Amino acid sequence: MKALLALSDPASVEAMCNAFAGTETELEFFPNLADLRANLGPGKALIVFCQARLPDGTFRDLLKLAASQDSEIPVVVCSDFFDKTSYIEAMSLGAYDYIAFPYRRAEVEWIIGNVLRRIPASKQVHRVKHERREQAHAHAS
């Protein structure tokens, strides 16, 4: 399973690495929205975690892009602190979830578990086979 993470703050990167430690999730980090946009698309990842504010935009920009592309990839907004107004806005713009720093492992695992449960079993098998083929190809190169 692959997760895309758009995080520019070193403390957020470290907290998210700790939250994913010991899982089988492949993490791909992006320091800004432009780099993340270039890597979005069908089959690229299971989930996206996006810091609320990045050097070149905000979660609003990513959620609008995801909506315009009819993207099925769930987007989780990661904030430096819980803000009720931002939470409501993020959810109304189509965020899958909203978490506040410090990002806790149990919270991240709960979110990923929910995402996995909403994927039909046939798609999960296809996704796993696709990921294994990509890994085999990457090791061969």
Per-residue pLDDT of 46-59, as tens digits, reads 899 999 999 999 99
How big is the CA angle at 13 (ends 92 and 88), to the nearest 5 degrees?
Answer: 15
**pLDDT at residue 124 tops 50:** no
Q: Which CATH number fits domain 2-140: 3.30.365.10, 3.40.50.2300, 3.40.50.720, 2.60.40.10?
A: 3.40.50.2300
Q: Provide the residue ranges of all domains of the chain, joining segments of one domain with +.
A: 2-140
pTM, rounded to two decimals: 0.81
Q: Closest by alpha carbon to 2, among 31, 14, 30, 10?
A: 30
What is the 3-state secondary structure of 20-47? HCCCCCEEEEECCHHHHHCCCCCCCCCE
Q: Identify residue 40 by its one-letter amino acid code.
A: L
pLDDT of 136: 63
* Whole-number Å distance between alpha carbons of 119 and 123: 6
Q: Kindly tell me if the per-residue pLDDT of 97 is higher than 50.
A: yes
Q: What is the pLDDT of residue 40?
A: 84
Q: Residue 46: which residues within 8 A CB-CB, separation 6 or more?
A: 1, 2, 3, 73, 74, 112, 115, 116, 119, 127
Question: Per-residue pLDDT averaged across 34-43, rounded?
Answer: 85
**Rounded-to-integer distance, Cα 63 and Cα 126, Å:** 26
